[in-house]
Amino acid sequence: MPLPRLLDAALDRLVIPGYSRLGFLARSAGWSTLPPEALRGRTIAVTGSSTGLGEATVAGLVSLGAAVEMVVRDRGRGEAARDRVLASHPGAQVTVGRCDLADLDDVRRYAADARDRLIALHGLVHNAGVLPDARTETAAGHELCLATHVLGPFLLTRELLPLLRAGSPPDRPGSPARVVFVSSGGMYTASLRTDDPEFREGRFSGGAAYARTKRMQVVLAELLADDLAGAGVAVHSMHPGWADTPGVAGSLPAFRRITGPLLRTVDQGADTAVWLQAAREPGQCSGVFWHDRVPRPTHYLPGGEEAPEARAGLWALCVDAVGPA
């Protein structure tokens, strides 16, 4: 049986039990199993898929019959990850496409190539992420977290829209193409900052830049949900809880040392991203923030919601950065 709502909400608000593997084990005991062919005939692209949550997401998708395009910055690492997936899922359809999400010109190049190769996309998972030690700018002059987590995904979604439209045929209204942003529970610690989105003011903190842009992802998913409603494309965001990924080991070693026994496996962390592509419920709504297969509030404190002008500012930031459609 599913956890009672009050208990589930209590686990979520207490953070440690809800975000840890304990929360996953408690909740997943009541979940129904997805059909093994739930994604047969569907093609899904996953960014940042050469390791960690991205690789686990690919494995979860192909286990349900999907064909997956692994979108990676380093082709060699991506092909090694593909080989690991194929070793555990023989016969799966997995391709590798190279794209640096932080480089907007490279996003355009990759998307043009994808439009030439692919007939349709039924899903897109924005998983690529960075947590830099120092403020770093891309060749176009954008702060690295902002470019990787917000501007690149915004542009990639727009550039792949013809494929996503093709994956959302009007005769299948209950099965739209789905765009999923892999955010972070850390976004709860940040407000939507459009006054200094490039983090040019004050002392730079990689953790703060990460949290700010993860908050932006959640708001951007809501804005894209409205913008793409007419195209029949559903857009969601989610957070994976605390998972033991190479990124955590490399960027947050102290956190990993303290919480190690409580961290989720990468498969547990990727579960909701996979479920959002396969389950019925997420195809019947859009613009929702999820954790462990349940919609979650985007703010814990009353009055924390973004002002309309701040939301409009985020949209203008993205449009101004990537240029007109």
Catalytic residues, which ones? 210
Contacts of 108 (CB under 8 A, 6+ apart): 155, 159
- Closest C-alpha among 50, 37, 38 to residue 94: 50
Distance CA 65, CA 302 (A): 42
Q: How many CA atoms lie within 13 A of 293 on its CB side?
A: 23
Q: Which helix (H) or strand (E) holds 60?
A: helix 52-62
Distance CA 109, CA 106 (A): 5
- Closest C-alpha among 324, 322, 315 to residue 140: 322
Residue 115 is classified by DSSP as H
Distance CA 257, CA 136 (A): 27
Backbone phi, then psi, for 222, in 5-degree steps?
-65, -40
